[in-house]
Amino acid sequence: MSAFGLLLFAVPFLFRTDVVQQLTTLCTLVILASMWNVLAGYGGLVSVGQQAFLGFGAYATVFLAQRDVHPYVAVVLAAGLSAVLAVALAPLLLRLRGGQFAVGTWVVAEALALLVALDEDLGGGTGVSLRGLNAYAPDWRRAYTYWLTLAFTLALLVAVFVLLRRRTGVAIQAVRDDEDAAAALGVRAGPLKFALFVLAGVGCGAAGALTLANTLFIQPQSIFGVQWSAYLLFMVLVGGIGSFEGPILGAVVFFLLQDWFAQFGAWYLIGLGLVAIGFALFRPRGLWSLAGDRLPFRLLPVGYALREPPATGRLGGSRRSASRQ
């Protein structure tokens, strides 16, 4: 494990700068897929407006950088401000359920995009650049951005793992399956949904800020675009919704397809939609189930499951036992 971590850290020294930039993009996709999976796969909160936090994180970075905050410090602060935004929005949006919640998140994203487009200091509708990073040589700038993105990716994945590994993981899935029944058993759904919503807001805000640091330019119609929801759906459904490893695999698949087939324009997006629908209908557990079901153990175990032990006793009876996976 330590060797793998050292290899990840050494990427800027081993590969060309364009490869480093692409791997930075992959890390941001892993963040986005994992955050959406936390909301929808574990919490049952299907959002089509996570681009609200993506765009907010990017433009918060620009706003802070324009006020002489160091750009990389601005990225970290923008993730924190995304948490503040999530806390402010949670009392309104978490009152909604199902399709109402999905539409509500989309409306918030559109409203934020409109507000940004009307602000000339943030570039209006034409976009804005993060000029502060031009002080670095391109190779070192991409290396620093990669290391910061890698740090955010690992920290957020660890946060998700710890959250799901504890008893809260079981409670969260109980709320997802039947909120009323979970409440009847004493599960406090409100604080759990609030925690998931804020965590996803922080992650998506960080991903937006890191996307800006990686590309140095953003526009409201792109960073707040609803196509991000299509990307998130694709990654999580194809990888395996409701699993820890699935969204990571889905992000890798999407990254490769995006690199290979992006030149097909609108047909590329249509193809992504058809593939996602196919997985939802015929393999709802995603690609990870192909490998996970064949392993004699859980690679990254979260939650609890019932196991049927081998038959024991004179009559060949068996008993069930709850075991942690």
The amino acid at 40: A
In terms of Cα–Cα distance, which of 196, 193, 68, 210 is closest to 153? 210
d(CA 176, CA 46) in angstroms, rounded, equals 11
pLDDT value, residue 87: 97
User: Cβ atoms within 10 A of the Cβ of 203, count?
Assistant: 33
Q: What is residue 74's predicted lDDT score, i.e. its pLDDT?
A: 96
Domains of the chain: 2-324 (1.10.3470)
CB 242 within 8 A of CB 34: no
φ and ψ at residue 128, rounded to 5 degrees = -150, 155
* CA Rg value for the chain: 21
Query: What confidence score (pLDDT) does residue 303 get?
Result: 52
Instruction: Check the CA dihedral 118-121-126-132 and report its sign.
Output: negative
pLDDT tens-place values along the chain, 325 residues long: 567 778 888 888 888 888 999 999 999 999 999 999 999 988 889 999 999 999 999 999 999 999 999 999 999 999 999 999 999 999 999 998 888 999 999 999 999 999 999 988 888 888 899 988 888 888 999 999 999 999 999 999 999 998 888 888 888 888 887 777 877 777 787 888 999 999 999 999 999 999 999 999 999 989 999 889 989 989 999 998 888 889 999 999 999 888 777 677 667 777 777 888 888 788 888 888 887 666 655 656 565 444 445 555 444 444 434 444 3
**Cα atoms in the Cβ-side hemisphere of radius 13 Å centred on 155:** 14
Phi, psi dihedral angles at 217 (to 5 degrees): -150, 140
Q: What pLDDT does 97 receive?
A: 85
The burial class, CB within 10 Å (0-12 / 13-18 / 19+), for 200 is buried
User: What is the pLDDT, as a whole number, of residue 98?
Assistant: 84
Q: Which two tokens stand for residue 178?
A: 């039947």
**Beta carbons within 8 Å of 221's beta carbon, 6+ residues apart:** 113, 117, 125
pLDDT of residue 84: 97
The residues near 95 (Cβ < 8 Å, ≥ 6 apart) are: none
Nearest to 325 by CA among 200, 177, 170: 170
CB-count burial class (<10 Å; 0-12, 13-18, 19+) for 280: middle
Q: Could you count the other beta carbons within 10 Å of the beta carbon of residue 228?
A: 24
Q: In a 3-state reduction of DSSP, which class is residue 310?
A: coil
Separation between Cα atoms, residue 258 and residue 266, nearest integer Å: 12
